[in-house]
Amino acid sequence: MLGSRLQLAVSALMMGKSAMAAVHVVTVGKGDHDFSPKIVNADPGDIISFEFYPANHSVVRMDPDYPCIPWETYNIGKGQGWWSHFYPIDTPSANPPTWNITVNDTLPFYYYCSQVGSCITYEMVGAVNPPNSTYVDQVAARAGQADFALSPGEPIPSDSTATPTPTPNSSTTHSSSGVSLSVGAIAGIAIGGVCALALIGLLFFFVGRKKKGAEMKENKTAAPEEGLMGTEHPPVYQDPRYSVLPAGAAANPWDNKPVDPRLSGVPMSENSHRISELPDSSTYDPVEIYTPGPEDMPAHRR
Q: Are 125 and 96 in contact (CB under 8 A)?
A: no
Would you say the C-alpha torsion 256, 261, 262, 264 has a positive or negative sign?
positive
Q: Are 120 and 138 in contact (CB under 8 A)?
A: no
Q: Are 22 and 47 in contact (CB under 8 A)?
A: yes
Of 60, 28, 32, 30, the C-alpha closest to 122 is: 32
DSSP 140-180: HHHHHT-S----TTPPPPTT--SPPPP-TTS------SS--
Of 63, 141, 52, 118, the C-alpha closest to 90 is: 52
- Interval 76-94: pLDDT, tens: 888 889 999 999 999 988 9
All structural domains of the chain: 13-144 (2.60.40.420)
| pLDDT band per the 50, 70, 90 thresholds, residue 177 | very low
Residue type, 224: P
Q: Are 40 and 24 in contact (CB under 8 A)?
A: yes
* Rounded CA separation 136/75 (Å): 20
Is pTM, for the whole model, over 0.85? no
Of 117, 109, 11, 114, the C-alpha closest to 57 is: 114
Q: Are 63 and 70 in contact (CB under 8 A)?
A: no
Report which DSSP code applies to 51.
E
Which residues lie below 8 Å from residue 145, measured CB to CB, with a gap of 6+? 171, 172, 173, 174
pLDDT value at position 36? Answer: 96
Q: What is the CA radius of gyration of the chain?
A: 60
The partner residues of 52 in beta bridges, in order of sequence, read 28
* Rounded CA separation 33/49 (Å): 18
pLDDT value at position 272? Answer: 53
| pLDDT of 161 over the 60 cut | no
The residue-averaged pLDDT of 183-206 equals 79
The residue-averaged pLDDT of 139-157 equals 95
| pLDDT of 299 over the 60 cut | no
3-class state of residue 253 by DSSP = helix
Average pLDDT taken over every residue of the chain: 75
* Rounded CA separation 131/107 (Å): 10
Residue type, 13: L
pLDDT value at position 259? Answer: 53
| pLDDT of 115 over the 80 cut | yes
| pLDDT of 206 over the 70 cut | yes
